[in-house]
A and B are shown apart, each in its own frame.
Chain A
Amino acid sequence: MMTYIVFILSVIFVVSFVGFSSKPSPIYGGLVLIVSGGVGCGIIVNFGGSFLGLMVFLIYLGGMLVVFGYTTAMATEQYPEVWVSNTTVMGVFLLGLLMEVMLVLYVLKSEEVGVVFKFSGVGDWAIYDTGDSGVFSEEIMGVAALYSYGAWVVIVTGWSLLVGVLVILEVTRGD
């Protein structure tokens, strides 16, 4: 099973995306967002990026999603929508699940899948040592490069975050 762990995690990822795209109430959307965040973190860790996976868990799930959960809990209605409460939501969820199941069967059964780019069955998802990454792990080198050569990216993203806060304050301020 460990050779196919990335495939399994990717399937759970897509299923949880279907879960919140079928629009139950935000509190349940946040629930599957936690699942998808955790599973995405698992995918990143399996590719060798343990630092980045931990960042996803800490900052995304432990910071942003917690704040989102608390604000949604304050603003939620008395009987929030679940996936089975509304026919439309349940229909969309089941449709998404059906399409995912068909896609998974297609990938598992056939030798080669060519949708936009060709990959050979499940084999392409298995992790094996591809090349000589040398002494240093690639992802730590990437983080180091972000703060040295990529200083402009850090400035731009920092400015975007600041302006994001200003924009949200302006939009919710009202008159």
Chain B
Amino acid sequence: MNPLIFTTILMTVLLGTMIVMTSSHWLMIWIGFEMNLLAIIPILMKKYNPRTMEASTKYFLTQATASMLLMMAIIINLMHSGQWTITKVFNPTASIIMTSALAMKLGLTPFHFWVPEVTQGISLTSGLILLTWQKLAPMSILYQISPSINLNILLTMAVLSILVGGWGGLNQTQLRKIMAYSSIAHMGWMTAVLVYNPTLTMLNMLIYIMMTLTMFMLFIHSSSTTTLSLSHTWNKTPLTTTLILITLLSMGGLPPLSGFMPKWMIIQELTKNSSIILPTLMAIMALLNLYFYMRLTYSTSLTMFPSTNNMKMKWQFETKRITLLPPLIVMSSLLLPLTPMLSILD
């Protein structure tokens, strides 16, 4: 793609999300979502084969439907309150429709079906943008309307997302699908605590974005999109295998790595609000996530499967240089002792 046009389109994606996050008028928020959707389609279609076109079409259809639902919720809100500002949603029907629309944009169950298929059909870099940057805008709107969200619907969607994200990722060997199911599960964790303490949602979003960025960059660095291809990284860059181990365990939520911080805080906040069964269930279902992360580490860093000699070499001869990778790795594994600094987020 022409670099000038690519830069323009990428800047429009950023501009769309910024408009969503900084607007106080519902119509501008909808405009921001549409601008974001329009501009990310050619980024998803960077390579011109039928898979990427199919993935872009699926993404466009689901997100456009979600925008339509959002517009309907905005108009119902307008009819009942007579004003366009985002303080809270004044009508329960509008609140439910808006929550469903934003859940469709995020990829929460039962609207999660597009996430693995779209993530699998596009390149690794586009998948990175899809799973990290595109989550910011809907989450910011959920944060702003959080006092008026129907708790039952949101908690049901969150718990089902954690279950589907864990269970669905069990049979996958393609790395992009694994990251997609991990995204579904993390979105579930984020929305579970949204009504109780939205600050923790933002904390979870921050740490999730860091860890997902790290994982995707490690995959891009070793140009691997399948588990088999990832298991050959010990030959090219042995250090990468250790880093993959640490980052994957951090994503699974194991202490003393930073991925434990949001889970710990969320479970603490939920128990403070006298719900015990819910965080227990959530923690148990996060084990499913941990299982397939550990399977990845097992084949990548911990064992070397018997293979013929010509399978042992990776074909790539030039190492990609990713400047941001070392700080990201450090941040996604060593942030746990900084937990007392959470008080600045208030």
A→B interface (CB under 8 Å):
116-117, 153, 156-157, 159-160, 163-164, 166-167, 170-171, 174-175
Contact = CB atoms under 8 A, between A and B. Distances in A.
A103 B270 CA distance: 45
B38 interface: yes
Contact of B80 (A117, A156, A163): A117
Contacts of B12: 159-160, 163
A165 to B, nearest CB: 11
A167 B9 contact: yes
A171 B41 CA distance: 8
A163 B35 contact: yes
A67 B115 CA distance: 35
Contacts of B45: 170-171
Contacts of B48: 174-175
Contacts of B42: 167, 170-171
B28 A167 contact: no
B68 to A, nearest CB: 13
Given A163-B39, A166-B9, A174-B48, 19 more contacts: A116-B93, A117-B76, A153-B28, A153-B31, A156-B19, A156-B28, A156-B31, A157-B31, A159-B15, A163-B8, A166-B5, A166-B8, A167-B9, A167-B38, A167-B39, A167-B42, A170-B5, A171-B45, A175-B48
9 smallest beta-carbon distances between A and B, as pairs: A170-B42, A163-B12, A175-B48, A160-B35, A116-B93, A167-B42, A174-B48, A117-B79, A163-B39
A153 B30 CA distance: 12
29 contacts: A116-B76, A116-B93, A117-B76, A117-B79, A117-B80, A156-B28, A156-B35, A157-B31, A159-B15, A160-B12, A160-B31, A160-B35, A163-B8, A163-B9, A163-B12, A163-B35, A163-B38, A163-B39, A166-B8, A167-B9, A167-B39, A167-B41, A167-B42, A170-B1, A170-B5, A171-B41, A171-B42, A171-B45, A175-B48
Contacts of B269: none
B34 interface: yes
Interface residues of B, number: 21
Nearest to A171: B42
Contacts of B9: 163, 166-167, 170
Contacts of A171: 41-42, 45
B124 to A, nearest CB: 20
A117 B97 CA distance: 14
A157 B5 CA distance: 18
A175 B52 CA distance: 13
Interface string B18-53: 010000000010010011001101100100100000
Interface string B190-210: 000000000000000000000
Contacts of A170: 1, 5, 9, 42, 45
B130 to A, nearest CB: 16
A131 B107 CA distance: 45
A32 to B, nearest CB: 19
A166 B7 CA distance: 11
Nearest to A152: B28
A61 B71 CA distance: 23
A145 B185 CA distance: 45
B80 A160 contact: no
A157 B32 CA distance: 10
A175 B45 CA distance: 11
A163 B13 CA distance: 10
B220 to A, nearest CB: 22
Contacts of B38: 160, 163-164, 167
B40 to A, nearest CB: 9
A156 B76 CA distance: 25
B44 to A, nearest CB: 10
A160 B45 CA distance: 19
A52 to B, nearest CB: 16
Nearest to B46: A170
Nearest to B45: A171
Contacts of A116: 76, 93
Contacts of B19: 156
Contacts of B76: 116-117
Contacts of B39: 163, 167
A153 B9 CA distance: 19
A18 to B, nearest CB: 16
A175 B9 CA distance: 18
